[in-house]
């Protein structure tokens, strides 16, 4: 019989092989225009499937059945051409902690995407180390990647070279999550900390179309709001709601919003 250590090594090798294969498929999605459009279609299909199954869970919520789920996240702090990082890790960690508290109201636990064994911490009574959700991208980037757009112009950017670059960073930097991003079960939300938006936005998400969101370095409190968009939520008019369109400060979530978040492809049981 093989030892537990040997079995763990074999499982690790198998996992790397599977994610490597998924990464080859994900490489197609790095192709500007055609590949990015295929990624949109694929993510829409995955989102629809998850919402259909999530409605079953929504019915169970009415009888008090709401087991804890998890959401993998990764905040990537970009570096400018002068090799200066755009934000301090402690500021990003504080914003992630705020987001973690908001999503715990939906019984969703934020965990690091980078940790291969992140799922083992899901039901731990201690909160995960959100500093482990932060990484510094080591390669300086030019203004094309640091200064981004939102809304309709962002759709054009994602179809082109900018979206292809964000996809490539996601595929290579979080290579052990390639299978999750391809199958849509527990796909991590990747938060790119950028320098500015061409309009006066604090952050931007293309909802179910992409695996990433962008947040301005001096508006980090918008992280939770943009994660909400990534997890199926549209804007709301209520001023105290997390998805209020005019501010990133509110924190409340309705029952329907909780159901939609828990049905997201970014939220899973393991």
Distance CA 234, CA 153 (A): 18
Q: What is the pLDDT of residues 2-60, one digit of tens each?
A: 454 434 433 467 777 888 888 899 999 999 999 999 999 999 999 999 999 888 888 88
What contacts 19, CB < 8 A, 6 or more positions away?
Answer: 175, 176, 177, 178, 179
Distance of CA 91 to the CA centre of its chain: 18
For residue 71, report the phi and psi dihedrals to the nearest 5 degrees: -130, 125
pLDDT of residue 8: 42
- Domains in the chain and their CATH numbers? 27-268 (3.40.390.10)
Q: How distant is the alpha carbon of residue 201 from its chain centre?
A: 19
Express each pLDDT in 136-165 by its tens digit: 999 999 999 999 999 999 999 999 999 999
Q: 205 CB contacts (<8 Å, ≥6 apart)?
A: 213, 214, 226, 227, 229, 230
Say if CB 210 and CB 158 are below 8 A apart.
Answer: yes
Task: List for the chain the helix, strand, coil content (%; round to 5).
Answer: 50, 20, 35
For residue 222, pLDDT over 60 is answered with yes
Q: How many residues does the chain have?
A: 270
Give the span between the Cα atoms of 60 and 115, in whole angstroms: 31
Q: What is the mean pLDDT of residues 228-250?
A: 94
Q: What is the DSSP letter of 194?
A: E
**Which segments within 128-171 are labelled E, that is strand?**
134-140, 147-148
For 175-214, the pLDDT digits (tens) are: 888 999 999 999 999 999 999 998 889 999 999 999 999 9
| Backbone angles phi and psi of 233, in degrees to 5 | -90, 130
Say if residue 118's pLDDT is above 80.
Answer: no
Torsion, Cα 250 255 259 261, to 10 degrees, reads 0
Q: Which one, of 241, 240, 149, lies nearest residue 198 by Cα? A: 149
For 17, the 3-state DSSP assignment is: helix
- Closest by CA to 149, choosing from 206, 227, 96, is 206
- Best CA proximity match to 73, nearest among 218, 248, 215, 238: 215
Helix (H) or strand (E) segment spanning residue 242: none
pTM of the model: 0.90
């Amino acid at each position: 019989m093989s030892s537990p250590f040997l079995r763990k090594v074999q499982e690790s090798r198998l996992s790397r092989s599977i994610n490597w294969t998924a990464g080859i498929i994900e490489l197609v999605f790095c192709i500007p225009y055609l590949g990015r459009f295929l990624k949109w279609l694929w993510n829409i299909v995955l989102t629809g499937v998850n919402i259909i199954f999530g409605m079953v869970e929504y019915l169970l919520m009415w009888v008090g059945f709401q087991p804890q789920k998890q959401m993998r996240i990764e905040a990537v702090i970009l570096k400018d051409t002068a090799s200066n990082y755009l934000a301090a890790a402690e500021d990003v960690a504080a914003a992630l902690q705020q987001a973690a508290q908001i999503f715990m109201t939906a019984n969703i636990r934020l965990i690091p995407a980078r940790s291969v064994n992140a799922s083992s911490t899901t039901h731990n009574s201690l909160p995960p180390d959100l500093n482990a959700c932060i990484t510094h991208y080591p390669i300086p980037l030019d203004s094309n990647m640091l200064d981004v757009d939102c809304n309709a112009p962002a759709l054009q950017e994602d179809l082109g070279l900018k979206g292809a670059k964000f996809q490539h960073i996601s595929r290579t930097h979080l290579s052990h999550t390639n299978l999750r991003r391809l199958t849509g079960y527990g796909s991590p939300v990747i938060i790119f900390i950028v320098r500015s938006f061409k309009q006066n936005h604090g952050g931007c998400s293309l909802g179910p179309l992409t695996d990433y969101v962008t947040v301005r370095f001096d508006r980090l409190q918008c992280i939770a709001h943009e994660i909400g968009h990534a997890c199926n939520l549209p804007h709301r008019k209520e001023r105290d709601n997390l998805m209020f369109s005019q501010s990133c400060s509110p924190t409340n979530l309705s029952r329907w919003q909780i159901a939609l978040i828990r049905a997201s492809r970014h939220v899973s049981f393991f």
